[in-house]
């Protein structure tokens, strides 16, 4: 039916249960140090495209003087990959990319 959402279930490996997730996930592309999402959200996946070996990115929850760093990823090769976060990572103030070294771009799947 048009306009009807389909239930999507994801396995939460920390709590060993199935959890209902929204069927519609928003995406955003980031190409440097910048605000990716400017509101509270849950991050479900990250697709990263490294430019060279030794690429790295870091994520913080919001912007300001000292927002907490919540995720760091280092790649020792040049292969693109998709990082699935199970359970999804909660951001209270938004997603800020605070480090972006030797990367082409990042795509975030969030709700």
pLDDT tens digits for range 35-59: 999 999 999 999 999 988 899 999 9
- Per-residue pLDDT, 4: 41
Give the Cα-Cα-Cα angle 75, 48, 108 (nearest 5 degrees): 135
Distance CA 62, CA 94 (A): 5
CATH 2.60.120, domain 25-110, yes or no: yes
What token pair was written down for 41? 């959200």
What token pair was written down for 94? 């938004």
- Per-residue pLDDT, 5: 43
Instruction: Give Cβ neighbours of residue 80 (< 8 Å, ≥ 6 apart).
Output: 47, 48, 49, 50
Averaged pLDDT score across all residues of the chain: 85
- Per-residue pLDDT, 95: 94
Report the residue count for the chain: 111
Residue 1 pLDDT level (bands cut at 50, 70, 90): very low
Q: Identify the sign of the CA torsion 7, 36, 93, 16.
A: positive
């Amino acid at each position: 039916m048009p306009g009807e959402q389909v239930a999507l279930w994801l396995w939460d490996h920390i709590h060993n249960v199935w959890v209902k997730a929204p069927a519609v996930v928003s995406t955003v592309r980031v190409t440097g140090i910048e605000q990716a999402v400017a509101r509270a959200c849950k991050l479900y996946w990250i697709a990263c495209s490294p430019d060279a070996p030794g690429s790295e990115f870091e994520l913080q929850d919001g912007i300001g003087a000292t927002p907490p760093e919540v995720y760091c990823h280092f790649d020792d090769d040049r292969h693109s990959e998709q990082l699935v976060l199970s359970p999804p990572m909660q951001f209270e103030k938004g997603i800020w990319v605070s480090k972006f070294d030797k990367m082409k771009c990042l795509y975030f799947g969030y709700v």
